[in-house]
Chains A and B, each alone.
Chain A
């Protein structure tokens, strides 16, 4: 079945550092890909999305590019802030379906 694998955390960075969180997927067809973010005590919220190969999703300085050849959707941000501290989930929506498969989540700590 479809699956999502993302790098284990926690990831600890200093403010203004560059962030990469790796995500790879296994799926048939052409799934839509997502990054969700979960702040402490809250539900998940959509950060960005991409629906087809080579699409780049972006929001709040975060970016991710849908790479079909490497089945990857890595999350990047050029300069992180303390307020970016959260858990980040990579996810895919199965082709032709409505279930969303979530990765295990990667916790990010940003130090001032």
Chain B
């Protein structure tokens, strides 16, 4: 199994630009999670999906952030417009809806907004 795939691995953009982060979960996993990691705030859950449907987006910081999951094998996290305080590592994770629900994380996307 290829594991959770994220792209790009690194993104550098200027303030005000739109940023789109991509994630392909592990096949057969029906939960998908987006996290943000910073030194100051640690690991924060932004949103999670079950069977492509958003279940809890209470962690999304503001309206500039949006996430979609058009099918079981693809999700996007979009920031528009981006701001320097959005600089962080963004992780996607997936899990099955049975068993102990352990999460499998992707390698992350390091976003730098200048």
Contacts and interface: CB of A to CB of B under 8 A. Distances in A.
Interface of A: 32, 34, 41-46, 49, 51, 89, 93, 98-100, 102-105
B48 A49 contact: no
B106 A102 contact: no
Interface string B82-99: 000000000101010100
Contact of B101 (A32, A89, A103): A32
B61 interface: no
Contact of A49 (B4, B102, B105): B102
B25 interface: no
B102 A43 contact: no
Nearest to A42: B107
Given A98-B31, A104-B42, A105-B43, A46 B102 contact: yes
B102 A99 contact: no
B97 A98 contact: yes
A39 to B, nearest CB: 11
Interface of B: 4, 31, 33, 42-43, 45, 48, 50, 55-56, 91, 93, 95, 97, 100-108
B101 A93 contact: yes
Contacts of A51: 100
B43 A89 contact: yes
A51 B100 CA distance: 7
B91 A34 contact: no
Given A32-B101, A43-B106, A100-B103, 7 more contacts: A42-B108, A44-B93, A89-B43, A93-B101, A98-B97, A105-B42, A105-B43
A99 B45 contact: yes
Contacts of B102: 34, 46, 49
17 contacts: A32-B101, A42-B107, A43-B91, A43-B105, A43-B107, A44-B103, A44-B105, A46-B102, A46-B103, A49-B100, A93-B101, A98-B31, A100-B33, A100-B103, A102-B43, A103-B42, A105-B43
Contacts of A102: 42-43
